[in-house]
Amino acid sequence: MVIFQKVLVLFLLFFFLVSCFNTNISAAASSVSLLQKEKELDRISALPGQPKVAFSQFSGYVTVNQEHGRALFYWLTEASSLPEKKPLVLWLNGGPGCSSVAYGASEEIGPFRINITASSLFLNKYSWNREANLLFLESPAGVGFSYTNTSSDLKNSGDKRTAQDALIFLLRWMSRFPGYKYREFYIAGESYAGHYVPQLAKIIVDYNKKHSNSIINLKGFIVGNAVTDNYYDSIGTVTYWWTHSMISDQTYKSILNHCNFSADKATKPCDDAVYYAMNREFGDIDQYSIYAPTCTTTLSDNNNTNIIKHMRLKNSLLRRRVSGYDPCTESYAEKYYNRKDVQKAMHANTTGSIPYKWTACSDVLIKNWKDSENSVLPTYKFLISAGLRIWVFSGDTDSVVPVTATRFSLSHLNLTIKTRWYPWYSGGQVGGWTEVYKGLTFATVRGAGHEVPLFQPKRAFVLFKSFLAGKELPKS
C-alpha cells in the first residue's frame, strides 16, 4: 500500500511537471506567434510609386513608454542581397527633432529617392543597403511619425531620455525581429546625432556589461559632421567662416572678442556679431554646402521649416542644435510622406491620432530641448577604451558643423597616430583625406556638404564599405 501511494505521488508529480512544461511551451509558442504576427503586420508590400525591388521592407511602431504613450516609428530596408549575412545599421538624424526618414532614408543612404512632384520614387545607386540592413528611426517621440500621448513630453525632451528610449526601442524591436538578435550591429548618423550616436553606444555598452547574454551585439559607430564639443566646435566654425572668406576680418575679430564659447548662453554683443555675419556678409548661400547652388523653390507656407532653419543657424555657435538640410529635396519628402496612401503603406499614423502634418523637423522639440551635453569627448574616451570601432567623417563644404570644428574637437582627445594623414581615393580621384588613430579613424569627404551621402554618394559609399570592413580607406 505504501509503495502504491509513493508511485501515485510520483505519477501525479510527473503529470504536474509535464502539464507545466506543456503550458510554458504553449505560452512561449503563443508569444513567438504574436511577435511573428507583429512583424508581418509591419511588412511593406510596396510604397506608392516605388520601382520593383528584391529586398524586404518593414515599418511601424514600437512603444517605448506605455504610461506616457510614447511610440517610435521605424523603417527597415533589408540588404539587397544576402540580408541574413549582412550587419544591421541603425541610422539617426539630428536636430534635435529632425527625421531620419526625411533625411537619411530619403536623400542620403536609403534605397529610394523622391521625384520632384512627389508622385514616385527612383532608386539610389549608392544605397548603403547594398552592404547592410538599414534601420531608420524617427527619434525622439514627436519627430516625424513618432508620437507621444503626453503633450509635456514634447517640451521636456533631451539627450538622456532620447538615448534611453532608443535602447528600449532596440530591445523590443529585436524581440519582434529575432533574426537580428546577436547580429553584428552598428550605429550611424550625422549632425546632432553626434550626441545621439555615442550616447546610445555608451548606454548599450553599460547595458551589455550588466547582461552577459545581451541581444545587442554592438561593434561600433560612424558619425558625420557631428556636433561634438560646444567650445571647440564654435571656435572651429568661426575659423571656417573666416578661412573660407565668408566673413570679414573685422567681423571675425568681433565674434572672437564678444563671444564666450564656454558659456551656456550668448550675450547680446555676441548675438549681434553673429547676426551681422549671417545676414550681412554670408549672402544668399546654402550654409550646409557653401559652393552648391541654392534652391529657388519656396517651401509651402503651412510649415515652419524656414523658421526652424533660421533659428538653428542663429543658435549654431553656442548651442550646437543643427540638422541636415537641403532646401529642395526636403520639400519633396514633406509632400510624399503627407500622402494618405503613403502613410497607409508604411503603417504610419494608423489611428489618425497625430494631429499635425508630417514635417522633416519639429520646431517644438528644437525650441524646448532640455538637457544637452556640452561635450561628448569624455564619452568618446569611454567608448574607445571599450574597444568599439569608431569613425568620424566630415564633408568639407559644410559651414554649419564644419571640418575645422570636428578637427579642433577631436584633437583634444590626444590620440596616438597609427597612420599619418594621407589622401584617399574613389573612382580615380581624391575622395578626401584621412588619419588613423589608435581607437578612432577620421576622414574628410571632398566636395561634400553637411549631408555627405547627398552631395557625394559614391565617396560616402566607399567610406561606409571601408568602415564595415574595418579597413583603411584606399590609398590609390
Residue where the block lists cell 571656435: 235
Q: Which residues pair with 419 in a beta bridge?
A: 436
> Do 314 and 274 touch, CB atoms closer than 8 A?
yes
User: Is residue 202 helix, strand or coil?
Assistant: helix
Q: Is 341 a residue of the active site?
A: no
Q: Is 211 a residue of the active site?
A: no
User: Would you state the torsion angle of the CA atoms of residues 353, 359, 361, 364, taken in this order, to the nearest 10 degrees?
Assistant: -50
Euclidean distance between the first and the last CA atom of the chain, given in angstroms as a whole number: 90
Tell me how many degrees the CA angle 282-285-288 measures, rounded to the nearest 5.
Answer: 100
Alpha helices in 412-456 (DSSP H): 452-455
Q: Which residue in the list 191, 289, 362, 394 is annotated as catalytic? A: 191
Q: Which residues pair with 187 in a beta bridge?
A: 90, 221
> Do 147 and 180 touch, CB atoms closer than 8 A?
no
What is the dihedral sign for C-alpha 342, 348, 349, 354? negative
> Do 195 and 170 touch, CB atoms closer than 8 A?
no
Q: Which residue in the list 289, 398, 409, 426 is annotated as catalytic? A: 398
Going by the DSSP 8-state scheme, the letter that residue 27 receives in this structure is H
> Do 101 and 87 touch, CB atoms closer than 8 A?
no
Distance CA 404, CA 421 (A): 15
Q: The C-alpha cell of 211 is what?
A: 547582461
Characterize 417-445 residue by residue with b for buried, 16 or more Cβ atoms within 10 angstroms of its Cβ, and e for exposed. eeeeeebbbbeeeebbbbbbbebbbbbbb
Chain center to CA of 23: 42
Which one-letter amino acid corresponds to residue 452?
A: V
Q: Which residues pair with 220 in a beta bridge?
A: 186, 389
Distance CA 107, CA 288 (A): 14
Q: Is 301 a residue of the active site?
A: no
- Going by DSSP bridges, is the β-strand pair 57-65/70-77 parallel, antiparallel, or unpaired? antiparallel
Residue where the block lists cell 563644404: 397
Distances in Å between the alpha carbon of 30 and those of 16, 22, 40, 100, 176? 21, 12, 15, 34, 13
CA-closest candidate to residue 380, choices 171, 197, 147: 197
Residue where the block lists cell 571599450: 386
What is the dihedral sign for C-alpha 425, 431, 433, 436? negative
Q: Which residues pair with 390 in a beta bridge?
A: 221
Distance CA 382, CA 334 (A): 38
Q: Which residue in the list 59, 254, 286, 450 is annotated as catalytic? A: 450
Active site residues: 191, 398, 450
